[in-house]
Amino acid sequence: MWNMPEPTIEVSPLALSILQLLDERPMHPYELAATMRERHQDEFIRLNFGSLYHTVDVLERNGWIVTAEREKEGNRPERTIYRLTPTGREVLVDVVADIVARPRREYPHFAAGLMFMHHLDAARAAAHLETRAGALGATVAKLSRILEELQAHGLKRLALIEMEHKIAMLEAERKWVLKIAREISDGQLEWSTGMVRDMEGLRRRHGSSTH
């Protein structure tokens, strides 16, 4: 699985969200954005009107969506309603399947912070980790309230599974961060990185990448 080639089609989370909403029914861009916000998908994707309209344009150029109709109300600008094409639906299904099946290399900021945390003194590092744990707890509480609200409005668990996953990951990180903060404060985590002996031999054994 780790040696599988990278997919030939790169589709952003915003593009996937547009494709799946148009799989439900034709919509215009403003309705797409409003629906994403109603469902709190903006917790998982970077959403603004500039990127939305750009992504819609790219999807249309690729032939994955097409204009279904244009509507005009009073003096308002004409709005274009888009629908999903059969090719667009194939892309949606194939990309989602690939994302679910394939672990992908990601580069979170927190991992970079942990890599270089030894540049802080131990007490300061522990205090910052405790601050992070508090922020994570607040986010977990917020998302849990949103999850309950959406369920109360009739959405089933499968429709909210990504939020359940995010809550679980954030809670696991919160617990781990508090554990590391305690180990630093108690002196269990030695505040020294050490040196790798025989770096070339290590690289030969593990290759240039851990993935």
Instruction: Quick: pLDDT tens for 99-114.
Output: 999 988 888 899 999 9
Average pLDDT over residues 176-194: 94
Q: How does residue 70 score in pLDDT terms, banded at 50, 70 and 90? A: confident
At residue 74, the pLDDT reads: 63
pLDDT for the residue 79: 87
Question: Comparing 208 with 194, which gets the higher pLDDT?
Answer: 194
CB atoms within 10 A of CB 171: 16
Termini Cα distance of the chain = 10
Question: Residue 147's pLDDT is what?
Answer: 94
**Residues 126, 179: Cα–Cα separation, whole Å:** 10
**pLDDT (tens digit, 9 = 90+) per residue, 107-141?**
889 999 999 999 999 999 999 999 999 999 999 99
Mean pLDDT of the chain: 88
Q: Which residue has the tokens 């990180």?
A: 173
**3-state class (DSSP) for residue 141:** helix
Helical spans, DSSP H, in 25-119: 29-38, 49-61, 86-101, 109-115
| pLDDT at residue 4, as a whole number | 43
Q: What is the average per-residue pLDDT within 147-169?
A: 93
Please tell me the distance from the alpha carbon of residue 202 to that of residue 75, in angstroms, as a whole number.
Answer: 69
pLDDT of residue 210: 53
Give the CATH architecture of domain 13-101: Orthogonal Bundle (1.10)
Which residues face 79 on adjacent strands? 71
Is the pLDDT at 2 greater than 50? The verdict is no
- Whole-prediction pTM: 0.77
pLDDT at res. 49? 86
Distance CA 211, CA 209 (A): 5
Alpha-carbon span 78 to 85, nearest angstrom: 22
Query: Quick one: what percent of the chain has pLDDT higher than 70?
Result: 85
Least confident of 54-68, 157-171, 182-196: 182-196
Region 51-78: what's the mean pLDDT?
87
| pLDDT exceeds cutoff 50 at 59 | yes
The whole-number pLDDT of residue 105 equals 86
Query: What's the pLDDT score for residue 10?
Result: 79
* 143, 164 Cβ separation under 8 angstroms: no
